Amino acid sequence: MSVMNRLRSVVALAILLLVPVFVHGTTPEEAAKSYFEEGKELSKQQRYDEGLVKLTLAVQASLETHKYHQALFMTYMALRRGVQAIDVYKKMAGEHPDSPTVHYWLGRLYLQSQSLDAAALEFRKAAELAPKDDHAWISLGHTYYRQGKDAEAMAAYQTANKLSPKVAAVHAGLGSLYLKRSDYPKAQRELETALRLDPSLTEARFDLSLIYERQGEIAKAVKEWRRILDDDPNESAARERLARTYFEQQQYEDAVREYSTLSQVRQGAPEVFFALGEAQVMLAASLTDSDDKHQLKDLALQAFQRTLELDPNHARARRYLDILSSKNTPGQVPQ
């Protein structure tokens, strides 16, 4: 047997049997810390199989310490061994059925694999075993939300918020649920709290922009969309909202700019090219310089032609082409 095969056999035996093969320190906590540090160092060196052995031993020695499980979880993810990790944690849960932390991390693995029902089951077990630990309640809220179980998600998030009132993701989840209920005051309060705690939450910022937009606070909505785009220029939902708002406010030059950028991100979206062409038509109608008008007309023709390439049944784009190909003045809007 080669050296590599022998090493893999040791790894498999240590992981599957969950039996410590080395002893460090004089207490389980000291041993766990030692294994953890060794495992981290091995992972940094990309010696992942050896790192898995050490991190598994750290978990064994201190079963309820989340950071050891997290390190083991992340190593499995780096190796793309989610299926193997689930098998290991299922065995661990069978051997330690009363460990909320083991059930929690098994839930995380199921969640990573998109097995939402199995994830929810494990998170519920973890919450029942440790009702004052916010980890399971937060993840249970996320899972229920993804399943479309809004009432259950709301209850889980509210419990998590009582336990840990300064978790940005919890406030973001609550805000999104209140938004779905059209309860804008509560949604706004939760989302603003989430963003104070973590300004990088793009989805929360977008949800907040929708609230401002629906309440007629367009300037505030525009400010949020611009901030989203400053952080991520390829974020198309915010740019589309911004472009549409500029068009509705008859700021056609700004609308053309935003739709032009958006067309580079969403090159297969006929609705984007149609909106770009329409904005170019309206901008041309507002200009006095004939050369600028002609140039915009040509660009609009290209946009509508691209629209029909992507959607041959787009009737309004075809009518625009008919108008622009005639001697009519740009600015006529087909109905």
- Domain boundaries defined on the chain: 233-335
Predicted TM-score of the model (pTM)? 0.81
Mean of the pLDDT values across residues 270-280? 97
Q: Are 276 and 303 in contact (CB under 8 A)?
A: yes
Would you state the pLDDT for residue 334?
52
Q: What is the DSSP letter of 181?
A: T
Furthest CA-CA distance within the chain: 91
- pLDDT tens digit sequence for 96-153: 999 999 999 999 999 999 999 999 999 999 999 999 999 999 999 999 999 999 999 9
What does the pLDDT read at residue 189?
A: 97
Residues 272 and 262 sit within 8 Å (Cβ to Cβ): yes
Joined together, the tokens standing for residue 82 give 């989610």
Q: Is the pLDDT of residue 17 over 50?
A: no
For residue range 307-325, what is the model confidence (pLDDT) as tens digits? 999 999 999 999 999 988 8
- pLDDT for 73-107, tens place per residue? 999 998 999 999 999 999 999 999 999 999 999 99
Please write down the long-range contacts of 113-117, taking CB distance under 8 Å and 24 or more positions apart: 113/82, 113/83, 113/86, 116/143, 116/146, 116/147, 117/147
Name the CATH superfamily for 233-335: Tetratricopeptide repeat domain (1.25.40.10)
Angle, helices 236-248/270-285, rounded to nearest 10 degrees = 30
Mean pLDDT (whole number) for 276-298: 93
